[in-house]
Structure 1
């Protein structure tokens, strides 16, 4: 008998399963494989857009200032003001101080001495140091401090003016929190009472992430400062006003086909300044691209949707330049003057609409126009006389008012196509993967022949494993899909496996899904408004999430065309909806009463009228203020979110839950839960959600939620509603005041095994992509239908504990590449549990 060499390590996990026999040895027949993958020789698959996978950038989670934009100082232009956030002042990010006996006062002012109309607020120092010493300000950068690398150079600049007749001596230093120097001092003398830019370079003497920059002046008189800036010389590609190199390189390593920018929700927020007391967030303006171009000192600072100010130092020119630098197509998104993201307001200002349409035409001219044009000339002045390659532009983002949005969209589209017929104008389908708004927008998009529709959804990993075939039934002749934002709702490997399984379906339907980008792209670990995120960072380190590794694997191994194939094997069947019942609120005070669960024959399984208290209810979220008041169960905290409490354990598959609910105060309505397993696994009927604009049924799995049913809905304060939830196995019907409100069936099978095969013609390779998102190995027979391939292949595997994630301290989930033997036109391979495997097979 011939003895095979025993492989070790990763190769042992993916060993080709085969039986070796001689005429003298009888063996039992091999066990049947768990799955089969068979190529269809009679069909030709769709070609894959060479820019199919891209990245989506939004200034969320401090992604720009304090993130990929390399400026090291916070609030460099003193524009953080209480009108944007009550916690802000013009000196946010700064502290005042003196040395050597110096003294003075520091105030931020907006008067006729300002630097320019967009950069209005500046720092005024009244100096009182006639006998030596200095007085000034210190900036600690973002969070822990300024990150410095020993030996690296840092470019400082400031705009200044003084009324001192002999000038004002200025000293700039880098130091640690205790004042110990971290580099040589930079000195300049400010002369004249007009704004002049002063600059110089500092070299760090020590590596730290907690440095400070001080700007102090001597003498007497009034010194005015604005646009105090510190940039590392070592930016991405060495560009001034450039990008943080490690973050930009991680994005570039993905080899994205496009960059969607400047955001989602921050694009289509309202058009007025002010502070919204109800939401607790700034009432931000929509993104104004013209305020982001030209000399950086002339650009505005904006209060964005995510609760902080953005400097616009990273503007449209820098976005276009970055896309070009990494070989990606720029894909800007412009506001449609209909606010989405749960705000649901439309602007009915004809003059404002016309201005935004013209702004969009001017944007295209800025990107593509000749240097003799107004905006093309500005692009040339900024250093890029050649046009950028702009071919796609999206109007609007996650619109919740479909008809109002579409009326505006048609106006934008007509104007763009008339002036620039080569631009593909992209519409959208709202904030969810299904529902009344989604259906209405798709109806309007199809009816008017829109070329491409932007879909967004964030769902649980189970949703992604249940919807691999989502695009199989889309109209092949209808609008193409731009999947502009999607992610599974956490950052663990299991989430990434679910996304990977779903991506095989995107590729299989590459004739429908032409563009796709995971979102969001970046997150500062010290400033998180949203998760999951692809790339995480702090002041001086960055790391890719498990989804980053999966996205990179797909984006670097796309292929040119799909090879049609089919798979057979095990799936997970749906189970009846059982578990506890629950009550909750979200930024709302509400009263619940007369809770009852009955079997179809009328047998009472649970009831509580709270006449004797609420001892049967257990808090799951430990938030809110629950108490029995006048015979009802009341949650009285209007600020608390997700206040879930549960009761009973309903083991039967058929039952009816009834409850009376009254909104007492607050922003939203009611949350009535059923099928509750724990705080991360349940269903709830959400009435008056999304700032009292929409009702929905949401399913939480592993902490992530997906929407099963959604429609417009509002709840009236003080009105008592009769709610009934009728559960029959996996089908649920909901009744509001005796009338059927909606129904759904949660009966999809879960497919933990997914695959796709593509062809890379330039490399002469087939790429077999297999995802095994389950705890058991998947022995798989692969039949390439006679295609001849070499007997060795390059294999890349991502695998590990499904609950593992990459963090600042460790990145355990990494791809491992090796060479394997034993492949052929027909072969069997065992794929590890919880794995993504790419096999690149050389064709003969």
Structure 2
């Protein structure tokens, strides 16, 4: 096989084209990227039930909490009356009959401590009937104390009202443990009320993000981050939808909400109730934290907004466009831009400034809806037009992302494109890009590397959610195979080749906690102790780091290579002079591509990064996180590119002309 390198420049590659999509699915936020270790810290969780069009919740204020029994069992009551915040009004009223009685938290799979590391515990408490004594905070394992601190309790004089006080303690781990028990106990008999109990590792990035997960994100060098979803934007009910205004400000004033994925795959057989029924959102990562995350990893923010519709797959609820309530959705969009970009003395810019960021975040893009589509009862196109008019009346510079619906094969998709093709040429800045989603088998990706070759060039595409699915289901790390990742890499050669059409692209979903995943495959898997990148992670990393600035003409060579099950594209980094070749070998044997550099002249050795493993079914897991990994080597361009069996190779050749 031979590849002739052309000197004809084709499509300019948008800077930051390869990005990330974050949705709070698979415990990606609470229990994941959000470094909080306590589960149901504000005694506000609910238990979720239901099916399409009929969802409901039951109070579960005490979920995850239990009384200790080593010194006898104290009394736990979940009450309201004098809350620290009316937004989450329930709190724990604990009564110890004897000294040493207390309560402990489930903390997902239990507390994980690393020897020598420190953790900060904060909680609100009110000594209701506790004239003396202190509060002990511990992490224990099999009865032994692994970390401990005693907090001096503030006592009110007799016959006076005791207010809520914020307490803080630092725990230092004396050993490394898993499945530890976080416990709070009273040193004397009495009654104390507790709320917003938090335990955070002191190495949490910005005091918010779990460090190993943050580092994996930053290591991808993403161009943008789409957030906060996904279906949770819409909610299974409109009451359940994601309201960005409830996610900013003091964490005690952020309303806990049930997660849309708590009722994934409910059925009559399981009583409309699954093992994830207590999956809730504390909003500890809210819109401020998402913007902050973008800044810290160097990604442009791309928030997505609800358009007055609950999830079209899961619900029939909507706000009609002629109802006064619809204006709330439009105003939320305009106010969000002010929150992100407005001066520190503006209404919503002042909220951002008070949270610690007086400078604007530099928002340039907003998504209008998630996977919305036009029906006889739902005028999504009219809703899009209403949002476009409201946003651009005040912020004409903001780029808007439209929706092509949940797939790329149905009538819904065709109708969407008819709408955008009609409106975009007629109205400047009407739609920056149309969001397309596809979760498909590997063979589809291989067969459609030319998918965007014939797309119109005047309407751009955001490849917003895509993933190869060799298999699908809950809790399947083995779904992230090398073969699936190679199919994605092959498809992306076509996406890159058509960079004048596809301006943004992101894999989905991003995170999955082992044992807590409603959806597989996913890019990054983790448990309480560690995290790892899947083969798909490495494909995204290689693309994110090696996009170049312009593609070079393939002149049909990609079609000839496809006959050999080899998929390739070539780009040029005009800043460095590097030729960048991306090549997938979908064969069980090694292949070599001979190179003709044409008018380019190699100015040094080629640098090759290779993704491969032991066959297409290879995958990474917690026990074996490096079964599929990257390797690097140098070579002489005159010797061509050696492609190991079932591999993805990125080659950078320094050149002069």
Instruction: After TM superposition, give the deviation of residue 218 of structure 1 in Å.
Output: 4.3
8 Å contact from structure 1 (residues 571, 752) kept in 2: no
**What is the aligned partner in structure 1 of residue 632 from structure 2?**
817
SS of residue paired to 1:565:
coil
Instruction: After TM superposition, give the deviation of residue 100 of structure 1 in Å.
Output: 4.2
Aligned mate of 1:767, from 558, 580, 594: 580
Bigger mean CA deviation after superposition, 371-380 or 341-350: 341-350
Q: Separation in 1 of the partners of 2:516 and 2:527?
A: 9
**What is the aligned partner in structure 2 of residue 435 from structure 1?**
410
8 Å contact from structure 1 (residues 98, 216) kept in 2: no
The structure-2 alpha-carbon separation of the partners of 1:235 and 1:751, relative to structure 1 and needing over 3 Å to count, comes to farther
**What is the aligned partner in structure 2 of residue 179 from structure 1?**
143
8 Å contact from structure 1 (residues 466, 751) kept in 2: no
> Matched residue pairs, number?
608
**What is the aligned partner in structure 2 of residue 206 from structure 1?**
175
**What is the aligned partner in structure 2 of residue 22 from structure 1?**
none
SS of residue paired to 2:650:
strand
8 Å contact from structure 1 (residues 259, 323) kept in 2: yes
Instruction: After TM superposition, give the deviation of residue 38 of structure 1 in Å.
Output: 2.4
Aligned mate of 2:128, from 157, 163, 171: 163
8 Å contact from structure 2 (residues 480, 521) kept in 1: yes
Q: State whether structure 2 residue 122 is matched by structure 1 residue 141.
A: no
SS of residue paired to 1:805:
coil
Q: State whether structure 2 residue 482 is matched by structure 1 residue 482.
A: no
Aligned mate of 2:616, from 792, 799, 802: 802
Over aligned residues, Cα RMSD in angstroms? Answer: 2.0
Instruction: After TM superposition, give the deviation of residue 567 of structure 1 in Å.
Output: 5.1
Runs of 5+ consecutive residues of structure 2 not aligned to the other structure: 50-55, 157-161, 263-278, 425-430, 470-478
**What is the aligned partner in structure 2 of residue 412 from structure 1?**
387
Instruction: After TM superposition, give the deviation of residue 184 of structure 1 in Å.
Output: 2.7
**What is the aligned partner in structure 1 of residue 34 from structure 2?**
69
Runs of 5+ consecutive residues of structure 1 not aligned to the other structure: 1-34, 274-284, 573-748
Instruction: After TM superposition, give the deviation of residue 570 of structure 1 in Å.
Output: 8.2
Q: Separation in 2 of the partners of 1:190 and 1:445?
A: 63
1:574-626, Cα deviation, whole Å (9 max, x unpaired): xxxxxxxxxxxxxxxxxxxxxxxxxxxxxxxxxxxxxxxxxxxxxxxxxxxxx
Q: Separation in 2 of the partners of 1:89 and 1:344?
A: 24
**What is the aligned partner in structure 1 of residue 452 from structure 2?**
471
Structure with the bigger RCO (C-alpha within 8 Å, sep 6+) is 2
Instruction: After TM superposition, give the deviation of residue 761 of structure 1 in Å.
Output: 1.9
TM (norm. structure 2) is 0.89
Q: State whether structure 2 residue 213 is matched by structure 1 residue 233.
A: no
Q: Separation in 2 of the partners of 1:435 and 1:185?
A: 60
Aligned mate of 1:833, from 641, 645, 651: 645
SS of residue paired to 1:484:
strand
Instruction: After TM superposition, give the deviation of residue 44 of structure 1 in Å.
Output: 2.1
Q: Separation in 2 of the partners of 1:355 and 1:456?
A: 28
8 Å contact from structure 2 (residues 446, 490) kept in 1: yes
**What is the aligned partner in structure 2 of residue 38 from structure 1?**
4
Q: State whether structure 2 residue 564 is matched by structure 1 residue 564.
A: no
Q: State whether structure 2 residue 529 is matched by structure 1 residue 549.
A: no
Q: Separation in 2 of the partners of 1:509 and 1:569?
A: 13
Instruction: After TM superposition, give the deviation of residue 568 of structure 1 in Å.
Output: 4.2
Q: State whether structure 2 residue 298 is matched by structure 1 residue 327.
A: yes
**What is the aligned partner in structure 2 of residue 444 from structure 1?**
419
Looking at secondary structure, tell me which structure has more strand per residue. 1
1:666-696, Cα deviation, whole Å (9 max, x unpaired): xxxxxxxxxxxxxxxxxxxxxxxxxxxxxxx
Q: Separation in 2 of the partners of 1:106 and 1:289?
A: 33
Alignment of 1:700-779 (within 5 A): 752-779=565-592
Q: Separation in 1 of the partners of 2:235 and 2:285?
A: 19
Instruction: After TM superposition, give the deviation of residue 779 of structure 1 in Å.
Output: 3.2
Q: Separation in 1 of the partners of 2:337 and 2:18?
A: 23
Q: Separation in 1 of the partners of 2:413 and 2:423?
A: 16
Q: Separation in 2 of the partners of 1:114 and 1:300?
A: 13
Aligned mate of 1:256, from 222, 234, 255: 222
1:433-459, Cα deviation, whole Å (9 max, x unpaired): 121000111111222212211111100
8 Å contact from structure 1 (residues 37, 782) kept in 2: yes
Instruction: After TM superposition, give the deviation of residue 48 of structure 1 in Å.
Output: 0.6
The structure-2 alpha-carbon separation of the partners of 1:791 and 1:216, relative to structure 1 and needing over 3 Å to count, comes to closer
Q: State whether structure 2 residue 355 is matched by structure 1 residue 390.
A: no
Q: Separation in 2 of the partners of 1:173 and 1:116?
A: 26
8 Å contact from structure 2 (residues 580, 652) kept in 1: yes
Instruction: After TM superposition, give the deviation of residue 88 of structure 1 in Å.
Output: 6.6
**What is the aligned partner in structure 2 of residue 373 from structure 1?**
346
**What is the aligned partner in structure 1 of residue 436 from structure 2?**
455
SS of residue paired to 1:63:
coil
Q: Separation in 1 of the partners of 2:558 and 2:84?
A: 68
**What is the aligned partner in structure 1 of residue 165 from structure 2?**
196
Instruction: After TM superposition, give the deviation of residue 220 of structure 1 in Å.
Output: 4.7
Q: Separation in 2 of the partners of 1:96 and 1:270?
A: 34
8 Å contact from structure 2 (residues 36, 200) kept in 1: yes
Instruction: After TM superposition, give the deviation of residue 804 of structure 1 in Å.
Output: 0.3
Aligned mate of 1:313, from 276, 281, 284: 284
Instruction: After TM superposition, give the deviation of residue 82 of structure 1 in Å.
Output: 3.7
Aligned mate of 1:106, from 76, 94, 100: 76
8 Å contact from structure 2 (residues 116, 173) kept in 1: yes
8 Å contact from structure 1 (residues 119, 300) kept in 2: yes
**What is the aligned partner in structure 2 of residue 426 from structure 1?**
401
Instruction: After TM superposition, give the deviation of residue 222 of structure 1 in Å.
Output: 3.4
Aligned mate of 2:602, from 779, 783, 789: 789
TM (norm. structure 1) is 0.70
The structure-2 alpha-carbon separation of the partners of 1:448 and 1:346, relative to structure 1 and needing over 3 Å to count, comes to farther
